[in-house]
C-alpha cells in the first residue's frame, strides 16, 4: 500500500496510551528487520494460498521469497484453510457473504489520515469478521481489546455498515507459530462508542503533539525508547529502594518492584544497545571504551577439516537425534503428529511469577496442596 499512515493501526497501542510519542518518533528514521521482512513474505504467501483456494488465478510468489521454508508453507496453507472454513460457515448461514483480501480500510473519520490494510474481511448480515495474520513468534498477540483490530473493524464498518445489517464485529488474530487463534467480539455500537470517546480525542491529541508521556509495554517498539526521558524517569523510580536485599523490603515494596522490573530490564538493555551503536559510529562515552568481545574458535574450512581428520584415522562426526522443532520441520507437522505423537511429552514448565492479567491458569504450590 506504500507509505504507512501516521496514525497507523500497528502503532496505535503506543499513540493511544502515550500521545506525544507520535510526533517524537518522527525524529527517527524508519528501520526494518529480517523478522519484519519475513512477516511480509509470509503475508504474501498466505494471500496467494487463500486466493487460489477461492478459485482466483494468482502468480505463485514462492520463487521470489527470501525467507521461504517448509514452516512458512504450512503456516500459509493452514491460514488459507482457516479463512475458507470461516467463509463457508457464513455461506451456510447467509446467502450473500462477501470476502475481501488485503483490503484498504479507512478510519480517518475518527483519526485524521488514518488507514490500514486488513488481511481478510468477511462480511454478512449480523456479523463483520476481521482477521489479521501474525507470523511473528517472539510476542504472543491477543485480540482482546486490541486497538489495531478495532481500527480495522472501524474501517470495515465504514465500507459496509448500511449495506449489510451488521450487529457485531468479530476481530481475530491468527498466529500459527504460537498456536494462537484469538477472537474478540464487540457490538457495532460498542465499537462506535470507543471510536468517539477514546480514539477520536487521543488521535487529535497525538497529532497536536500534546498529552503526557506514559511508560508501558507499548514502549517496546517505540523509536525513541532508548532516549525517552519519561521512560527513564519511570524506571529510575525503583532507585528509591536503594537496591536493598529482599529481607529488608516490605511486601508492598516487593510487589511494586515486581510490577516494574521487566520493563526496567528492557529499558536498561535498550540503553546499552543505543550506547554501543553510537560508539561504533564514533561517539565517545566518558568512562567507557570499545573493546573486542569474547569469541569462540571456529573452523576456517569444514570440508578440509573433515578430509584431514579422516586421513588421520579419526571420525569427524558426532551423531545426535534432531531436536523436536527440527524433527517437526523435517517430517511436517501432520506426519510428525501421526508417527511421533505418543513418543513426545510436554513436561510442566518451571514456575514463574507473572501479573494477574496473564491468561495462564495459576498453579498449586506445595503449601496449597497441604492446605
Question: Do 21 and 148 fall into the same domain?
Answer: yes
Question: Do 159 and 80 fall into the same domain?
Answer: yes
Identify whether 216 is part of a domain. no
Identify whether 288 is part of a domain. no
Identify whether 212 is part of a domain. no
Question: Do 114 and 19 fall into the same domain?
Answer: yes
Question: Do 31 and 172 fall into the same domain?
Answer: yes
Identify whether 215 is part of a domain. no
Identify whether 368 is part of a domain. no
Give the helix/strand (H/E) hosting 249. Answer: none
Question: Do 111 and 243 fall into the same domain?
Answer: no
Enclosing domain of residue 155: 12-207
Number of compact structural domains in the chain: 3
Give tens-digit pLDDT for 147-174: 999 999 999 999 999 899 999 999 999 9
Q: What is the pLDDT of residue 1?
A: 41
Question: Do 28 and 171 fall into the same domain?
Answer: yes
Question: Do 120 and 236 fall into the same domain?
Answer: no
Burial class (CB in 10 A: 0-12, 13-18, 19+), 202: buried
Q: What angle do CA 353, 215, 38 make, to 5 degrees?
A: 80
Question: Do 51 and 105 fall into the same domain?
Answer: yes
- Sort strands 115-123 and 98-106 into parallel, antiparallel or unpaired: antiparallel
Question: Do 265 and 188 fall into the same domain?
Answer: no
Identify whether 291 is part of a domain. no
3-state secondary structure of 296: coil
Give tens-digit pLDDT for 76-110: 999 999 999 999 999 998 888 999 999 999 999 99
Question: Do 20 and 151 fall into the same domain?
Answer: yes
Identify whether 5 is part of a domain. no
- Please tell me the pTM assigned to this model: 0.74
Number of Cβ within 10 Å of residue 125's Cβ equals 16
Identify whether 363 is part of a domain. no
Q: Could you tell me which of 30, 102, 21, 90 has the C-alpha nearest to residue 61? A: 102
Give tens-digit pLDDT for 276-318: 888 999 999 999 999 888 888 999 999 999 999 999 999 999 8
Amino acid at each position: 500500500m506504500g507509505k504507512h499512515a501516521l496514525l497507523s493501526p500497528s502503532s496505535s497501542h503506543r499513540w493511544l496510551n502515550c500521545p506525544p510519542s507520535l510526533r517524537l518518533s518522527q525524529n527517527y528514521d524508519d528501520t526494518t528487520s529480517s523478522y519484519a521482512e519475513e512477516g511480509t513474505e509470509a503475508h504474501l504467501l498466505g494471500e496467494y494460498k487463500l486466493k487460489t483456494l477461492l478459485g482466483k488465478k494468482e502468480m505463485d510468489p514462492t520463487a521470489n521469497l527470501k525467507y521461504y521454508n517448509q514452516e512458512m508453507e504450512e503456516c500459509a496453507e493452514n491460514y488459507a484453510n482457516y479463512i475458507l472454513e470461516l467463509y463457508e460457515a457464513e455461506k451456510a448461514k447467509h446467502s450473500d457473504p462477501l470476502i475481501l483480501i488485503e483490503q484498504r480500510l479507512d478510519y480517518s473519520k475518527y483519526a485524521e489520515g488514518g488507514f490500514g490494510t486488513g488481511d481478510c474481511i468477511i462480511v454478512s448480515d449480523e456479523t463483520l469478521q476481521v482477521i489479521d495474520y501474525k507470523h511473528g513468534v517472539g510476542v504472543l498477540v491477543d485480540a482482546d481489546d486490541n486497538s489495531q483490530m478495532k481500527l480495522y473493524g472501524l474501517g470495515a464498518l465504514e465500507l459496509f455498515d448500511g449495506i449489510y445489517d451488521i450487529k457485531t464485529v468479530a476481530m481475530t488474530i491468527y498466529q500459527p507459530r504460537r498456536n494462537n487463534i484469538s477472537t474478540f467480539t464487540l457490538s457495532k455500537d460498542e465499537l462506535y462508542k470507543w471510536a468517539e470517546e477514546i480514539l477520536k480525542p487521543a488521535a487529535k491529541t497525538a497529532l497536536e503533539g500534546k498529552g503526557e508521556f506514559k511508560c508501558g509495554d507499548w514502549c517496546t517498539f517505540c523509536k525513541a525508547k532508548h532516549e525517552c526521558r519519561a521512560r527513564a524517569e519511570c524506571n529510575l523510580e525503583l532507585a528509591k529502594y536503594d537496591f536493598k536485599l529482599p529481607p529488608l523490603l516490605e511486601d508492598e515494596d516487593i510487589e511494586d518492584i515486581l510490577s516494574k522490573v521487566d520493563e526496567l530490564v528492557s529499558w536498561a538493555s535498550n540503553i546499552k544497545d543505543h550506547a554501543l551503536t553510537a560508539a561504533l559510529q564514533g561517539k565517545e562515552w566518558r568512562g567507557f571504551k570499545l573493546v573486542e568481545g569474547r569469541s569462540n574458535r571456529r573452523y576456517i574450512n569444514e570440508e578440509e577439516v573433515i578430509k584431514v581428520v579422516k586421513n588421520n584415522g579419526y571420525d569427524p562426526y558426532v551423531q545426535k537425534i534432531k531436536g523436536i522443532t527440527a524433527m517437526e520441520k523435517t517430517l511436517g507437522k501432520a506426519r510428525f503428529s501421526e508417527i511421533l505423537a505418543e513418543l513426545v511429552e510436554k513436561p510442566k514448565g518451571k514456575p514463574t511469577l507473572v501479573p494477574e492479567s496473564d491468561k495462564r491458569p495459576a498453579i498449586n504450590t506445595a503449601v496449597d496442596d497441604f492446605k
